[in-house]
Structure 1
Amino acid sequence: MELYVLGALLFFLIGVVLSLLGSGGAILTIPVLVYVFDVNPYWATSYSMFIMGLSNWTATIDNIRKKYILYKIGLYFAIPGLLVTFLVRRFVLPDIPDMVFKNELMHVSKGSALMLVFSFLIFVTAIRTLKSKHVHENVPMAFSPVKSMFQGAAIGLITGFVGAGGGFLIVPILVLSSKIPIRQAIATSLFVISITTSLGFLGDLNPSVYMDWPFLIYCATFCVAGVLVANSIKDKFTSKTLKLIFGYFILSLSILIFIIEINKLGLKLVAFL
Structure 2
Amino acid sequence: MSVLIVALLSGAAVGLAIGALGGGGGVLAVPALVYLLHLAPADASTTSLIVVTATSVTAVFRHARAGTVRWRVGVVFAAAGVLPAIAASVLAGHIPKAALTTAFAVVTLLAALAMLRNAGPGEGAENGEPDRGANETSTGGAQGIGKVMGAGAGLGTVTGLLGVGGGFLAVPTLVTVLSLRMRLAVGTSLVVIAVNSVAALTARLAVGPTTLDPATLGPFAGAAILGAWDGKRLAARLSGIALQRMFAALLIALAVFMLVDALR
TM-score computed with the length of structure 2 as normaliser: 0.85
Paired residue for 1:266?
none
C-alpha distance in 1, partners of 2:74/2:106? 26
What is the match of residue 270 of structure 1? none
Residue 18 (structure 1) aligned with residue 10 (structure 2): no
* Alignment-derived partner of residue 52 in structure 1: 52
Matches of 1:14 and 1:70, distance apart in 2: 23
Structure 2 residues not aligned, in runs of 5+? none
Q: CA 1:41 to 1:131, structure 2 compared with 1: closer, same or farther past 3 Å?
A: farther
**Unaligned stretches of 5+ residues in structure 1:** 101-109, 264-273
**Counterpart in 2 of 1:92?**
91
State the alpha-carbon separation in 1 of the partners of residues 223 and 12 from structure 2: 5
- In structure 1, distance between residues paired with 2:104 and 2:157: 13
> CA 1:132–1:23 in structure 2 vs 1: closer, same or farther (change >3 Å)?
same
Question: Radius of gyration: which is bigger?
Answer: 1
- The normalised TM-score by structure 1 is 0.83
The corresponding residue for 2:37 is 37
Change in 2 beyond 3 A, CA 1:3/1:254: farther
Residues 154-169 of structure 1 mapped to structure 2, 5 A cutoff: 154-169=154-169
Please give the residue correspondences for 1:88-167 in structure 2 after superposition, counting only pairs within 5 Å.
88-89=88-89, 91-94=90-93, 96=94, 110-134=96-120, 135=123, 137-138=129-130, 140-142=132-134, 143=139, 144-167=144-167
**1:174 match:** 174
TM-aligned CA distance change 1:122 to 1:151, over 3 Å: closer
Separation in 2 of the partners of 1:21 and 1:150?
22
- SS of residue matched to 1:209: coil
**2:259 — aligned with what?**
258
Percent of residue pairs bearing the same amino acid type: 25
Contact 1:41/1:114 (<8 A) preserved? no
| CA distance, structure 2, for counterparts of residue 228 and residue 145 of structure 1 | 32
Give the letter aligned to residue 71 of structure 1. W
Offset at 1:3?
Answer: 4.3
Q: How many residues align?
A: 249
Mean Cα displacement is larger for which, 190-199 or 131-140? 131-140
Amino acid across the alignment from 2:78: A
One-letter identity of the residue aligned with 2:179: K
Contact 2:181 2:240 in 1 (8 A): no
